[in-house]
Amino acid sequence: MAKLNTAPKLTPKQQALKDLEQARALLGVHVHLASEAWNPRELMRQSLQKHLWAWVSAAGVGGLLLWRILTPSLQSKIGRDFSGASAKKSGLIALLMTPMLDIARQAALKFGTTFIQSYLQNHLSQHEGPHTPVREPNSHV
């Protein structure tokens, strides 16, 4: 007896579309796995676990450099106090920067207040439960 072929015969175009759909499904799985493996947070966590001492020493050196850059040395401070030209330059820069600093301060204050207000509204609305009326205890003896 002849075997019955129950699968419908697909045209080459239909077969190509079916193969494309299967390839897309497999590609989606691979993209998901790759996005999990290359997630910056995951990479940072793995790097911190593997190279903890390197991160600690780099943070120490970076902090020391930042501290040295931000705090002027004693010799340059003494020299700056005696030179008149640097005082004139710093006075001119201060005169030019004062209005800019005021504008920046006002913008930062406005942004900070709106941010805090929105944060508090969102935070309080999430934790706020339904209001129930407060009942006073009955004074019946």
Copy the structure tokens of residue 112. 């900070």
Of the candidate ranges 2-6, 62-66, 95-99, 120-124, the one whose mean pLDDT is the lowest: 2-6
Asked whether the predicted pLDDT for residue 71 surpasses 60, the reply is yes
Model pLDDT for residues 97-140, shown as the tens digit of each residue: 788 888 888 888 898 888 888 888 887 776 665 555 556 556 55
Side-chain half-sphere CA neighbours of 140 within 13 A: 1
- Give the Cα-Cα-Cα angle 131, 133, 139 (nearest 5 degrees): 160
E strand or H helix at 37, and its extent?
helix 12-37
**Ordered DSSP codes for 51-96:** -HHHHHHHHHHHHHHHHHHHSPPHHHHHHHHH-HHHHHHHHHHHHH
Copy the structure tokens of residue 18. 């079916």
8 A C-beta contact, residue 18 and residue 10: yes
- pLDDT for 76: 59
Model pLDDT for residues 24-35, shown as the tens digit of each residue: 988 888 888 888
Domain ranges of the chain: 15-71, 84-126
- pTM of the model as a whole: 0.34
